[in-house]
Chain A
Amino acid sequence: MKIWFLLVMSYVFYGFWEPTLCSLIMLSTVVDYGCGRKIGSIPIEQRRSKGKPWLGLSLAVNLGLLGFFKYCDFFIAEFVHAAGWLGFAMEGDQYLLNLILPVGISFYTFQTMAYSIDLYRGDIEHPERHFGRFALYVAFFPQLVAGPVERAPHLLPQFSRPFRISPNMVREGIFMILLGFVKKVVIADRLARVIEPFYLSAAESTIDAAAAMLLFTCQIYVDFSSYSDIAIGLGLLLGYNIRPNFNLPFVVPSIPERWRRWHISMSHWFRDYIFIPLGGSRKGPVRTQVNIMLVMFLSGLWHGASNNFVMWGLLNGATMVGHKVLVKPLRVVSGAMERTEVTRVCYYYLCCWVTFCTIASINIFFRCPDWETATSFVEAIFCSGLDPYFKFLLKPGRMDRGLFEAFSWVFVVFCAHEGQRYFDLRTKILTNPRVWSAVCLFFFWWVINFGITGPEFIYYQF
């Protein structure tokens, strides 16, 4: 009964935005449930040979849905552009289908594909027989529209067991939900309000462009992780464990470290279903780096159908490869810097700052609405020489109040992040009921008093 109730509520939640799009999620569910049953009926040792058609059907439907709704217009536009370049007179807009992108389609299609692939590979022995449970696995509302991308072996068994919840889960759930709300409506939306005007058109000032670039990297972290926090909190209150999606990725000393801690569920998906099947790092350094580039390229494409996201993926891949190339000389430097505690800490935070700036620079392509705006930002920030930066450093008072307050929030995020790293604040709060009560009351007050109406979650668009 509980499963069906949650399923209906999940569909109501999803359909609240656009009821007709429930049919897509239903299609994906029915196809994967059927394919899963068929693959599961084949003995494990024969699945890789006899299960191919069913896996193919599952992939075709899910990738077809994703491709049609997400990439169709992009490829049409590119085709028309190419045709025009070759001399064929074609007007772009009339060929576009102008499809609306169903919220969360990239998440639930990946989740269902993972189920079919796991069955096919034998990682899951028995398919789920209960349709309601499987449908809930696909549509479970806390993580439906922006992840974490759950795996069947982790979530499905939880739906089968009797309802079980502990006071600790309640405490943690409430804390996570409130933390998520503070991150979203108090911090992320406030940052969004400051940043937004800078990205509406081409960059005009070097300092403004650089400030917007740095602030966006904080905004996307707070915004995205807030959704995961709320999802995890809701899951806990319903008696389910949802896997964490972030592990302190804001202040990290290297790019690979950042990817190990950022959007963990999706990184693991790409690792398990693309990187490792391609050979992973088992086939020599060159092939490893090609695989990394390919995975990051696909990761960029997963985010959206535009040249900006492709470039974002490739640049991320390039930095990962670059890190692998530089890892030996960097070890020599870090060895030298670790001789004293002061130099070690300084070197650590210098690395964190360089990593942060690198990620922020790459994120220009993520945030800018089009290629022209992105290139104008790159030019403003990197091609204006050091003069504007020196002038600003000599007269920092020119920074406007909105930017100053936004950077204050970045500082708050930094302090909370490092507090968690060094003192494990979360555990301390959760294990002391008085501290927990005070913190939750404070968060609640902040959300009510300082929450602002801002844009929807950034990852809704994917």
Chain B
Amino acid sequence: MDKIIEAISAHEQIIFIVILMIFVGIEVIGRVPSVLHTPLMSGANAIHGVVIIGAIIVMGKAETDNYPALVLGFLAVVLGTLNVVGGFVVTDRMLEMFKKKKK
């Protein structure tokens, strides 16, 4: 029991962020018209591309002679970038369709 409380207090900040973000995520999506569900899913898909930050950190601290780490990290950066760039571009293309038509 003590250990659990200790672990919680050690990561207090993180636990706060997690719980608040869960509520924000639910609130933000709750009022979306179904028309926008597909672009929204695509937009959310691009946002979780934030995993690229982790790939950059891994890459950045790999020793220059540790090739397995470099190759894996490099692959991670490429895939993460694909997720971010592809995700945002696809979403933008979908939403382009929604703009008001000029007569």
Q: Do A and B come from one complex?
A: no
**A-to-B contact residues, CB < 8 Å:** none
